[in-house]
Amino acid sequence: MSTLTPEQWQSLSPYLDQALALTGDERATWLASLGEQNPALAAQLGVLLEEHRVLAQEGFLEKGPAALPNAPGLAGQTLGPYTLISQIGQGGMGSAWLAERSDGRFERRVAVKFLNIALMGKGGEERFKREGSILGRLAHEHIAELVDAGVSAAGQPYLVLEYVEGDHIDRYCDERMLDVEARVRLFLDVLVAVAHAHANLIVHRDLKPSNVLVRNDGKVKLLDFGIAKLLEGEGHAGEATVLTVEGGRAMTPEYAAPEQLRGEPVTTATDVYALGVLLYVLLTGQHPAGSGTHTPADLVKAIVDTESPRPSDTVAPTQANAEIATTNATRRATTPEKLRRLLLGDLDTIVAKALKKNPRERYASVTALADDLGRYLRNEPISARPDTFAYRAAKFVRRNRTAVALATLAFAATIAGAAGTTVQARRAREERDFAFRQLSRAEAINDLNTFLLSDAAPSGKPFTVNELLGRAEQIVNLQRGDNASRVELLISIGRQYHSQDEDAKARRVLEEAYQLSRGLSEPSPRAQASCALGSAVARGTDRQRAEVLIQEGLRELPNQPQLTLDRVFCLLRGSEVARGQGASQKAIERAQAAKDLLKSSPLQSEILDLRALMDVAESYRVAGQYRDAIPVFEQASIVMDSLGRGNTETAGTLLNNWALALQLFGRPLEAEKLFRRAIDISSAGQSEEAVSPMLLNNYARTLRDLARLDEAAIYAERAYAKAKQSDARIVLQQSTAMRARIYRDQHDFARASAMFAEVEPMLRRNLPPGHAGFALLASEESLLELERGNLKAALQLANEGLTKLEATVKSGGPSEAMPTLLMRRSDIELRLSHPNEAAADASRAQSLLQTVAQPGTFSGNLGHAYLSWGRALQALGKREEAHAAFRSAAEHLQNAVGPDHPDTRAARQLAQLDTQPR
């Protein structure tokens, strides 16, 4: 079939028009009658129409460019004498292809591996080939041979390797149900190969089952020495160079050693570690970091921090894993109990020594590991010694001195508290949260954690957190000992009160800690005491003292590594205090400084990282920098989930703040989901009784923005009732205003009007004069007048709102409400038939929003601005521009507030997206 010439096409074109205008049956009749007059033409048309039927079936061009089918890729291309056949792998290493030698000299199947172009660097091709030849030295029966290395015409370096047809070693063992001894023997072959590479100064760095194949004949073959770093040996300096700059990143996290994750030097000990993991998997069927899916964060944490369980413990059957344990044992031709006993002792010890976090504590060489396994097979005593309990315990206490003290305290207090007090339902979640916090303090003391968790969980024995803290206070007071540790414990108790919103108690305890700390000379407890007190004082009326205390604390702390955590603590408290005072830039700076400090510090604490992240995000939010805040909230939430804290009260707070940022950024559809999750966390399967009124009111606001007015009214009323009950003034004011707005939208004007009247005195009580809240109130009231049809009054109020806001902005206040106020005035002006003014306001609103918008994402605020602007343009007779504006409005609104929102529908209709065929 050939392409049509332009002339042919032009002569056929009018007939195609006719044919395509007809339905199927009509078309056949038409074509038949045409055939009688002009058979050649009809035949050509028939072919084209058949082609049309086919392409319609394929859905040709129906999906847009992103959905075009993928090309066959590189298949069929040649590289030197090799022709690529099919892709056989794609991973951290790069892509690998099966290829065939095609120059006819001899037939051979090979694997071609493409390497990163960035690897070339200076010296390019020549250097690559030279280093390839060093890899070629690795001739060993258990290592896949490097056949060739080169650079493709397109500049892509590649390696040609022996093609190995085989199974991953773990699958090979499982499928053949090899017992422990056979597995160890097979593993020894792997060790021989790696030892050979090490002798040639080549470290593998990416040992894992998919790189260790076993052929059908039982022969082990190691793949992928391609990314190995050539070690600089004595006397070889300068000759053996680093092959890949990417090497540090080209690894598989599951088999990565702690030093790789920490970015430390990679040595032969790195391979020893990976081999330890591989042995662990072969023996137990599970990864040392535990079974199941891991988030990368979990995995990294486990590899760097957590001692893995002994293999014998891993295979021991428990109620929870009985099935898995049996499966794994069967694959090793035994029962779970027998397998456990086989591993207990020497194999436990050998694996533990290979898996030491500190490279220097591991086997000194792969050969040493092989020797011990050989001794095990021969029933001789092995060289490695098991860790004693005392050794482990001492190591733990060194690492977690304070944490142990606190956990012990909590432990004692919990026992004391379990005696007989009753628990209120709403306290349950706080206790759970408290337990999680304890957990984070003393992560490693597993049985303590278990105790706290099971005891403090909602279904556990009853006690209140206040009780617990009260007893803790008593115990501290009874304690003899140095004042520094008393100060630390008091701070810890005070912070607990603080987070339980027991502000008065928090201030009392922290004041005591502060006074006590004045008699100390160590900077750490002194600074902590000032900063903790500062944050407690900031909640009261004495805001100036709060800032003074923070600065005092920060001054006490010179920038020394051992004081890093204290500095972080003070910076985070300082950020909180600055936020409370509206000094949002200072808040951002402090939180950011804390985050950076943690990053550069050798101390690794994901919990602290998380807290710093949350403070950075919240500071951005308070500053109105939503575009910056949202991604940080998201990041914090991911960390929170990965630490297993996704259901704590802190997570609820995070979700609330994040949702609020999304909401204010004009993305209520997303905000709604997060608020919902926050409410679910707070309600913990019970009623929504325990949910904070602030959260309820925030949720009501989002529902209102989504035009779900009836639900919004319910939540706003509940927020109002709860706020009244607990005398929370700010929420009372906010929920009153929210109810007024909702009733106005529901056209219950009398009620709305009465409620707006209530808001004004509340604002006067709660806010300083000149606050943006007054401007917003005027603007809200202008909408009420607009709805009532009092256009003049509406315009007056809209003007009043803008005048007030401009004054606020002039004196340094936030300007984020400006676009909203402009849009509203635009709508009013339009109704008053002032389209020019309306267009100007809407256009200004739109451009203000564009400057803060996140490029490329939708925003309900922008959608509304475009809608207002479009209407004004339409009134001005600018049809084309109006349509463009409506089109934009429709897309923004559709994504931000949903397709069924009345404004979305209006925009779609105005943009003529919903018109019927004419």
Partner 1 sequence: METTISALMGAAEGGDGAAAEELFGALYSELHRMAKRELARRGTPVSLSATTLLHEAYLDMAARSGPSFPDRARFMGYAARVMRGLIIDHARERHAQKRGGLFEITSLDTESMEAAVDHRELVQMSEALDELGEVEPALAELVDLKFFCGFTFAEIAVLRDVSERTVQRNWEKARIYLHRKIRADLSL
Please report, as residue ranges, which positions from 864 to 893 form the binding site for partner 1 (by CB under 8 A): 880-881, 883-885, 887-888, 891-892
Q: Return the residue of 24, 40, 64, 521 that touches partner 1, per CB under 8 A.
A: 64
Contact set for partner 1, span 4-23 (CB under 8 A): 4, 6, 9-10, 13, 16-17, 20-21
Q: CA 687 → CA 433, 646, 708, distances in Å?
A: 18, 20, 21
Q: In whole angstroms, how close is the CB of 36 to partner 1 at the nearest point?
A: 24
Number of residues forming the site for partner 1 (CB under 8 A) = 71
Q: Which is nearer to partner 1, 155 or 761 (CB)?
A: 155
Q: Please give the single-letter amino acid code of residue 753.
A: S
Taking the complex as a whole, how short is the minimal distance between the CB of residue 238 and partner 1, in angstroms? Answer: 25
Looking from the CA of 68 toward its CB, the CA atoms found within 13 Å total: 7
Q: Sheet harboring 157-162: ordered strands across?
A: 78-79, 82-91, 94-101, 109-114, 157-162, 146-151
Contact 354, 363 (CB under 8 A): yes
Residue among 162 and 881 whose Cβ is closer to partner 1: 881
User: What DSSP line would sit under 519-588, residue for residue?
Assistant: T---HHHHHHHHHHHHHHHTTSS-HHHHHHHHHHHHHT--S-GGGHHHHHHHHHHHHHHHHHTT-HHHHH
Residue 619 to residue 378: CA distance in whole angstroms: 64
Q: Indicate the residue among 87 and 592 with the shorter CB distance to partner 1.
A: 87
**Residue closer to partner 1, measured from CB, 27 or 831:** 27
Span from 309-317, 351-359, 592-600, 906-914 in contact with partner 1 (CB under 8 A):
906-914
Per CB under 8 A, the segment of 46-54, 131-139, 313-321, 810-818 that binds partner 1 is: 46-54
**Chosen residue from 27, 30, 46, 52 binding partner 1 by CB under 8 A:** 52
Range 830-859, binding partner 1 (CB under 8 A):
843, 854-858
Of 186-194, 561-569, 736-744, 908-916, the window that binds partner 1 (rule: CB under 8 A) is 908-916
Q: What is the largest CA-CA distance in the chain?
A: 115
Q: How far apart are CA 706 and CA 672, in angstroms?
A: 9
In this chain, which stretch among 2-10, 262-270, 708-716, 727-735 interacts with partner 1, using CB under 8 A?
A: 2-10
Contact 574, 550 (CB under 8 A): yes
Residue 20 or 364: which CB sits closer to partner 1?
20
**CB-wise, 69 or 769, nearer to partner 1?**
69
Whose Cβ is closer to partner 1: residue 4's or residue 164's?
4
Minimum distance of partner 1 from residue 113's CB (angstroms): 10
Q: Tell whether the torsion through CA atoms of 250, 254, 260 and 262 is positive or negative.
A: positive
Binding mask 750-789 for partner 1 (x = CB under 8 A): ----------------------------------------
- Distance in Å, CB of 578 to partner 1, minimum: 30
From 63-71, 191-199, 328-336, 765-773, span contacting partner 1 (CB under 8 A): 63-71
User: Which residues 214-273 are close enough to bind partner 1 by CB under 8 A?
Assistant: 227, 244, 246, 249-252
Q: How far is the CB of 863 from partner 1 (least distance, A)?
A: 11
Residues 386 to 405: which contact partner 1 by CB under 8 A?
none
* Cα–Cα distance for residue pair 202/73, rounded to 1 Å: 33
Select which of 170, 174, 189, 206 is catalytic.
206
Q: Is the dihedral of CA 782, 783, 784, 785 positive or negative?
A: positive
Phi, psi of 222 (to 5 degrees): -90, 135
Stretch that binds partner 1, among 298-306, 484-492, 585-593, 905-913 (CB under 8 A): 905-913
The helix (run of H) or strand (run of E) holding residue 432 is: helix 428-441
Q: Which residues, 66 to 105, sit near partner 1 by CB under 8 A?
A: 66-71, 92-95
Nearer to partner 1, 48 or 240 (CB): 48
Residues in 615-674 at the binding interface with partner 1, rule: CB under 8 A: 670
Q: Which is nearer to partner 1, 246 or 503 (CB)?
A: 246
User: In terms of CB distance, is 463 or 858 closer to partner 1?
Assistant: 858
Q: Smallest distance, Å, CB 489 to partner 1?
A: 43
Site for partner 1 in 273-302 (CB under 8 A): 296
Cβ-proximal residues to 558 (8 Å cutoff; 6+ apart), any chain:
523
Whether 174 is catalytic: no
Residue 284, CB-side half-sphere exposure with 13 Å CA sphere: 30
3-state secondary structure of 800: helix
Which region, judged by CB under 8 A, interacts with partner 1, from 48-56, 455-463, 765-773, 818-826?
48-56
Closest to 206 measured CA to CA, from 151, 257, 160, 164: 257
Q: Cα–Cα distance between 731 and 695 in angstroms, integer? A: 9
Report the half-sphere exposure of 228 (CA within 13 A, side-chain side).
30
Residue 338 binds to partner 1 (criterion: CB under 8 A): no
Q: Which stretch binds partner 1 (CB under 8 A): 3-11, 304-312, 386-394, 644-652?
A: 3-11
Identify whether the C-beta of residue 764 lies closer than 8 Å to the C-beta of residue 723.
no
Nearer to partner 1 among residue 246 and residue 387 (C-beta) = 246
With CA atoms as reference, report the closest residue to 163 among 103, 93, 213.
213
State the DSSP H helix or E strand holding residue 610, giving kind and residue range, or none if neither: helix 606-622
- Tell the burial category of 5 from Cβ atoms under 10 Å away from its Cβ (0-12, 13-18, 19+): exposed
Rounded to an integer, what distance in angstroms lies between the CA atom of residue 349 and that of residue 385?
7
110 to 169, contacts with partner 1 by CB under 8 A?
114-119, 156
Q: Cα(230)–Cα(368) distance, rounded to whole angstroms?
A: 21
Q: Which is nearer to partner 1, 558 or 856 (CB)?
A: 856
Residue of 278, 280, 247 lying closest to 265 (CA atoms): 247
Smallest gap from residue 68 Cβ to partner 1 (A): 5
Cβ within 8 Å of residue 181, ≥6 positions away: 377
Minimum distance of partner 1 from residue 884's CB (angstroms): 4
Name which position in 3, 216, 388, 459 contacts partner 1 (CB under 8 A).
Answer: 3
Residue with tokens 């009784």: 689
| Residue 96 Ramachandran class (φ > 0 left, ψ -120 to 50 alpha, else beta) | beta
β-strands 94-101, 82-91: how paired?
Answer: antiparallel
Task: Show contacts with partner 1 in window 494-553 (CB under 8 A).
Answer: none
CA–CA separation, 531 vs 553, rounded Å? 6
Shortest Cβ distance from residue 862 to partner 1 (Å)? 10
Could you tell me the smallest distance in angstroms from the CB atom of residue 675 to partner 1? Answer: 17
Q: Which H or E run includes 878?
A: none
Answer yes or no: are the C-beta atoms of 404 and 445 closer than 8 Å: yes
Among 28-36, 214-222, 706-714, 907-915, the segment contacting partner 1 (CB under 8 A): 907-915
Q: Which is nearer to partner 1, 245 or 405 (CB)?
A: 245
CB of 914 to partner 1, least distance (A): 8
Minimum CB–partner distance for residue 296 and partner 1 (Å): 8
Q: Quick one: tokens of 858?
A: 């939708």
Residue 14 beta carbon to partner 1: minimum distance, rounded to whole angstroms: 10
Residues carrying an active site annotation: 206
